[in-house]
């Protein structure tokens, strides 16, 4: 007896369609990015890359990522710990609120920040009096990026920590361990893989965020342009090769992220087999 | 170290009239070196009580003393208890050795033994639980029984004042459970720790404990040695919870109970309607009625279970069939089979409808 979909013809057709679609929608654009970036040769590619504004954009993107990821790492762990280990009124509401950055369009998030911290905003006037500028400067970009990426770590951890329960932590506390020791030696090793995964996703999004950042950055060339903004601006300037050069950097980062994720998953699978 | 529990109570959720309490105020004294079992159906509050003694949960009122030390307000981490969880709760990412060493390694630096001392202590504990060869394995590579032994070694590593066990053998299969029970009994005899454990298995409670605390609905029903508990249960709940029960209901007149075609001499019982209870082993079977008992029954099911044979007995005068257990010798002598008609002989009856529970010992069968 042949099961449904088991006939060789059906199987080949289905696999063929899946592969064709993947190539058309996922692989081809990726190849196109690198093809365009290298269209005028390696020299031009290199020239575009060492352009002052591009270098500034790379630097700003790295700064934003370096600040965002640790903040959201700590915040995400704290939030997941709170939601899974304690029961308090408003716990469910909090779990829903975590998803706001996913639900809301990044542009709206950027506008809200503008409303709060802009010169005519609620907090902006007060900040302005102390000569602190948040909008159209790197602090605004960092804040917007933190907002957009804050659910990643918590979302990875919460289901895992819920399924693992708190028995091991309870055992540790009966053995006299302090809160910090329990976190470091019991909880952290248990959630390590999910945490790394969350960090990778946060990192990928922090590097690539466009919408929220474009609202709060003000696109000052060489000052508040992150890589994605730089790509857009070069493209608007009809500098296609330049735009694709910057885009190729982002694409490479994306590939690296995927590779890191694959390695993590492979290692997790190997651990499963070992035990 | 002795444990003194005085007036411990606990209510979950909002307090108010009509709200069921997880624990009614409970008093319990456990002597130094005693092994006490908390026995009850699920929801009886036994695990809550154990976790309160451990400090993993807070009581609403009452006090707990370990020896002379009032630990009511002491944090779990400073109570010096060992706790064994039903599902072991081993640290899955640590080797067996590191699991057992965890408590020693977590000591503040000034109290922490040297790593050589820790090593020898851990190996000594692993020897005690007969797992020396498994020191470098991970919990997932061990069987349930082995994991629970690791968990026990881990709990004993810091030489706790009291050892608390929450359904320690509940997740294991019958044979391993039996083995571990005996082994724990021996270990207790050797080391003499004071211990409180929770179980819903009456056989486990009776076999393991010096004294058993029977609980239901957050109340203590009876505290007694296993022997007393079985022979002189304090109330009907205890009697029914500790084993299988057969019922006999009938009218007594002049010391004879009548129930349909059945008659039974019950000297000393007042006239009137009575409900009497008896265990399967308090029934014997005979081919003829005896002087005091005329209880005709027919065998409706035969179930050989190891050393004994369980029989189901039916009769018109019985509401529900009786369960009886007989030895193989008697089984063969009476040539029991399904449908065989015999006479039941009763050696003991228990009665809980009076103010005080009463046990009637009847004349042995001739």
Q: Which domains does chain B have, with CATH numbers?
A: 3-241 (3.40.50.300), 246-361 (2.40.50.100)
Binary contact (A190, B54; C-beta < 8 A)? no
How distant is the Cα of A69 from the closest Cα of chain B, in angstroms?
26
Query: Least CB-CB distance to A175: which of B93, B102, B138?
Result: B102
Binary contact (A186, B155; C-beta < 8 A)? no
How distant is the Cα of B95 from the closest Cα of chain A, in angstroms?
12
The CB-based long-range contact list for A176-179 (8 Å cut-off, 24+ gap) reads A176/B77, A176/B78, A176/B80, A176/B103, A176/B106, A176/B107, A176/B158, A177/B77, A177/B102, A177/B103, A177/B106, A178/B77, A178/B106
Q: State the best of A89, A176, A189 to mutate against chain B, taking most chain B CBs within 10 Å.
A: A176
Tell me: do A26 and A160 sit in the same domain. no
Which pLDDT does position B365 carry in this prediction? 46
Q: State the best of B55, B91, B153 to mutate against chain A, taking most chain A CBs within 10 Å.
A: B91
Tens-binned pLDDT, residue by residue, of chain B (366 aa): 899 999 999 988 765 566 677 898 999 999 999 999 999 998 899 999 999 999 999 999 999 999 999 999 999 999 999 999 999 999 999 999 999 999 999 999 999 999 999 999 999 999 988 899 999 999 999 999 899 999 999 999 999 989 999 999 888 888 888 888 888 888 888 888 899 999 998 888 998 999 999 999 999 999 999 999 888 888 899 999 988 899 998 899 888 888 888 888 888 888 888 889 999 988 988 888 888 888 899 999 999 888 889 999 999 888 899 999 988 988 888 888 888 889 998 888 898 887 788 888 886 544
Strand partners, B220: B215
Contacts of B85 in chain A (CB under 8 A): 167, 170-171
- ipTM computed for the complex: 0.81
What the block records as the tokens of A107 is: 């542009």
How distant is the Cα of B171 from the closest Cα of chain A, in angstroms?
15
How distant is the Cα of B18 from the closest Cα of chain A, in angstroms?
23
Least confident of A87-91, A113-117, A179-183, A218-222: A218-222
Q: Which residues of A touch B (CB under 8 A)?
A: 167-168, 170-178, 181, 185-186, 189-190, 275
H/E stretch holding B361: strand B358-361
Least confident of A107-111, A262-266, B274-278: A262-266
Contacts of B48 (CB under 8 A, 6+ apart): B10, B22, B23, B57, B218
How distant is the Cα of A177 from the closest Cα of chain B, in angstroms?
5
With b meaning 16 or more CB within 10 Å and e meaning fewer, what string describes A42-70? eeebeebbebebbebbbebbeebbebbbe
Least confident of A165-169, A219-223, A226-230: A219-223
Tell me: do A200 and A222 sit in the same domain. yes
The answer to whether A250 and A231 are in contact (CB under 8 A) is yes
pLDDT tens digits along A15-52: 999 999 999 999 999 999 999 899 888 899 999 888 89
Query: CB-based contact (8 Å) between B125 and chain A?
Result: no
Picking from B83, B65, B82, the residue whose alpha carbon sits closest to that of residue B5 is B65
pLDDT tens digits along B52-104: 999 999 999 999 999 999 999 999 999 999 999 999 999 999 999 999 999 99
What's the pLDDT band for A5 if we cut at 50, 70, 90?
A: low
Query: Least CB-CB distance to A173: which of B77, B80, B155?
Result: B77
CA distance B34 to B195: 6
Tell me: do A10 and A93 sit in the same domain. no
What the block records as the tokens of A202 is: 């946060």
Query: Least CB-CB distance to B103: which of A167, A175, A189?
Result: A175
pLDDT tens digits along B46-60: 999 999 999 999 999
Q: State the best of A85, A175, A267 to mutate against chain B, taking most chain B CBs within 10 Å.
A: A175
Which pLDDT does position B221 carry in this prediction? 93
How distant is the Cα of A195 from the closest Cα of chain B, in angstroms?
16
Helix A41-49, helix A240-274: angle, nearest 10: 80
H/E stretch holding B7: strand B3-10
Binary contact (B91, A181; C-beta < 8 A)? no
Contacts of B351 (CB under 8 A, 6+ apart): B269, B274, B275, B276, B277, B357, B358, B359, B360
Tell me: do A182 and A206 sit in the same domain. yes
Tell me: do A76 and A180 sit in the same domain. yes
How distant is the Cα of B294 from the closest Cα of chain A, in angstroms?
58
Q: State the best of B57, B92, B150, B153 to mutate against chain A, taking most chain A CBs within 10 Å.
A: B92
Query: CB-based contact (8 Å) between B175 and chain A?
Result: no
The answer to whether A191 and A85 are in contact (CB under 8 A) is no
Tell me: do A62 and A192 sit in the same domain. yes
The answer to whether B351 and B362 are in contact (CB under 8 A) is no
Strand partners, B308: B305, B327
Tell me: do A112 and A216 sit in the same domain. yes
Query: CB-based contact (8 Å) between B261 and chain A?
Result: no
Contacts of B158 in chain A (CB under 8 A): 175-176
Contacts of B6 (CB under 8 A, 6+ apart): B27, B62, B63, B64, B65
Q: What is the distance of C-alpha B267 from the center of its chain? A: 33
Domain of A31 in residue numbering reads as 1-37
What's the pLDDT band for A136 if we cut at 50, 70, 90?
A: confident
Binary contact (B140, A175; C-beta < 8 A)? no
Query: CB-based contact (8 Å) between B78 and chain A?
Result: yes
Q: What is the CATH number of the domain that holds A149?
A: 1.10.3720.10
Tell me: do A19 and A144 sit in the same domain. no
| pTM summary value | 0.80
Percent of chain B clearing pLDDT 70 (strictly above): 97
Q: State the best of B93, B143, B155 to mutate against chain A, taking most chain A CBs within 10 Å.
A: B93
Q: What are the angstrom distances between the C-alpha of A14 and each of A7, A11, A19, A25? A: 11, 5, 9, 17
Query: CB-based contact (8 Å) between B182 and chain A?
Result: no
Coil/strand/helix, residue B333: helix
Domain total in chain A: 2
Binary contact (B102, A189; C-beta < 8 A)? no
CA distance B178 to B181: 5
Picking from B305, B311, B341, the residue whose alpha carbon sits closest to that of residue B323 is B311
How distant is the Cα of A266 from the closest Cα of chain B, in angstroms?
18
What is the number of other CB atoms lying within 10 angstroms of the CB of residue B100? 29
CA distance A130 to A128: 5
Helix, strand, coil percent values for chain A (each to nearest 5) = 80, 0, 20
Tell me: do A225 and A118 sit in the same domain. yes
The answer to whether A185 and A178 are in contact (CB under 8 A) is no
Which pLDDT does position A218 carry in this prediction? 82
Which pLDDT does position A221 carry in this prediction? 84
Tell me: do A77 and A17 sit in the same domain. no
Tell me: do A59 and A149 sit in the same domain. yes
Of all residues in chain A, the one with the smallest CA distance to B57 is A170
How distant is the Cα of A182 from the closest Cα of chain B, in angstroms?
9
Query: Least CB-CB distance to A174: which of B81, B107, B138?
Result: B81
Which pLDDT does position B321 carry in this prediction? 92
The answer to whether B351 and B247 are in contact (CB under 8 A) is no
Binary contact (B157, A172; C-beta < 8 A)? no
- Tell which B residues from 134 to 163 touch A, by Cβ distance under 8 Å: 138, 140-141, 151, 154-155, 157-158
Tell me: do A246 and A260 sit in the same domain. yes
Which pLDDT does position A1 carry in this prediction? 57
Binary contact (A176, B90; C-beta < 8 A)? no
Please, what's the largest Cα pairwise distance for chain A? 80
H/E stretch holding B105: helix B96-105
Contacts of B103 in chain A (CB under 8 A): 175-177
Strand partners, B299: B313
Q: Is the pLDDT of residue A11 over 60?
A: yes
Please, what's the largest Cα pairwise distance for chain B? 80
The answer to whether A113 and A140 are in contact (CB under 8 A) is yes
Binary contact (B141, A275; C-beta < 8 A)? yes
What is the number of other CB atoms lying within 10 angstroms of the CB of residue A190? 17
Question: Pairing relation of β-strands B162-166 and B81-84?
Answer: parallel
Contacts of A174 in chain B (CB under 8 A): 54, 56, 76-77, 81-83, 155
Of all residues in chain A, the one with the smallest CA distance to B92 is A190
How distant is the Cα of A170 from the closest Cα of chain B, in angstroms?
8
CA distance B131 to A120: 71
Helix ranges, B129-194 (H): 144-156, 174-191
First to last CA, chain A: 37
């Amino acid at each position: 007896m042949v099961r449904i979909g088991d006939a060789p013809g059906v199987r080949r057709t289905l696999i063929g369609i899946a592969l064709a679609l993947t190539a058309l929608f996922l692989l081809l654009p990726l190849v196109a990015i690198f093809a365009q970036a290298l269209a005028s040769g390696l020299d031009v590619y290199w020239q575009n890359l060492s352009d002052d504004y591009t270098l500034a954009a790379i630097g700003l993107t790295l700064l934003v990522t370096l600040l965002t990821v640790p903040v959201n790492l700590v915040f995400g762990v704290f939030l997941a710990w709170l939601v899974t280990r304690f029961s308090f009124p408003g716990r469910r509401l909090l779990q829903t609120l975590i998803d706001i950055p996913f639900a809301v369009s990044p542009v709206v998030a950027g506008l809200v920040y503008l409303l709060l911290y802009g010169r005519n905003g609620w907090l902006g006037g007060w900040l302005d009096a102390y000569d602190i500028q948040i909008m159209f400067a790197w602090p605004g970009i960092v804040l917007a990026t933190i907002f957009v990426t804050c659910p990643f770590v918590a979302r990875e951890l919460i289901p895992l920590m819920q399924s693992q329960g708190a028995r091991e932590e309870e055992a540790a506390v009966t053995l006299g361990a302090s809160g910090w020791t329990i976190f470091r030696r019991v909880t952290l090793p248990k959630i390590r893989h999910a945490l790394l995964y969350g960090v990778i996703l946060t990192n990928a999004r922090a590097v690539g965020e466009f919408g929220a950042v474009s609202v709060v950055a003000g696109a000052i060339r060489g000052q508040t342009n992150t890589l994605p903004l730089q790509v857009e601006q070069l493209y608007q300037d009809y500098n296609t090769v330049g735009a694709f050069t910057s885009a190729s950097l982002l694409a490479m980062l994306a590939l690296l992220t995927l590779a890191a994720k694959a390695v993590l998953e492979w290692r997790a699978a190997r651990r499963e087999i070992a035990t | 170290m002795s444990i003194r529990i005085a007036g411990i109570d606990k209510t979950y959720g909002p307090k108010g009239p009509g709200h069921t309490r997880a624990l009614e105020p409970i008093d319990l004294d456990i002597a130094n070196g005693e092994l006490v079992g908390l026995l009850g159906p699920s929801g009886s509050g036994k695990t809550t009580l154990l976790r309160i003694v451990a400090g993993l949960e807070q009581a609403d009122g009452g006090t707990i003393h370990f020896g002379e030390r009032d630990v009511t307000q002491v944090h779990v981490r400073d109570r010096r208890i060992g706790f064994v969880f039903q599902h072991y709760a081993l640290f899955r990412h640590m080797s067996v050795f590191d699991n057992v060493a965890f408590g020693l390694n977590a000591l503040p630096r000034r109290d922490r033994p040297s790593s050589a001392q820790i090593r020898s202590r851990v190996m000594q504990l692993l020897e005690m639980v007969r797992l020396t060869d498994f020191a470098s394995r991970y919990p997932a590579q061990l069987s349930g029984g082995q994991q629970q032994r690791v968990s026990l070694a881990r709990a004993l590593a810091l030489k706790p004042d009291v050892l608390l066990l929450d359904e320690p053998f509940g997740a294991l299969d019958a044979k391993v459970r039996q083995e571990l029970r005996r082994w724990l009994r021996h270990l207790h005899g050797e080391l003499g720790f004071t211990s409180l454990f929770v179980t819903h298995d009456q056989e486990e409670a009776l076999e393991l404990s010096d004294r058993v605390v029977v609980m239901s609905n957050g109340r203590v029903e009876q505290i007694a040695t296993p022997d007393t508990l079985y022979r002189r249960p304090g109330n009907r709940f205890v009697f029914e919870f500790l084993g299988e029960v057969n019922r006999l209901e009938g009218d007594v007149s002049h010391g004879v109970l009548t129930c349909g075609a059945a008659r039974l001499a019950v000297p000393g019982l007042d006239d009137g309607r009575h409900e009497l209870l008896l265990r399967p082993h308090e029934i014997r079977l005979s081919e003829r009625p005896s002087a005091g008992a005329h209880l005709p029954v027919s065998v409706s099911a035969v179930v050989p279970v190891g050393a004994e044979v369980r029989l189901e007995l039916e009769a018109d005068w019985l509401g529900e069939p009786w369960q009886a257990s007989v030895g193989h010798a008697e089984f063969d002598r009476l040539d029991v089979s399904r449908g065989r008609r015999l006479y039941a002989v009763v050696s003991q009856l228990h009665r809980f409808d009076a103010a005080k529970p009463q046990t009637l010992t009847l004349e042995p069968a001739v």
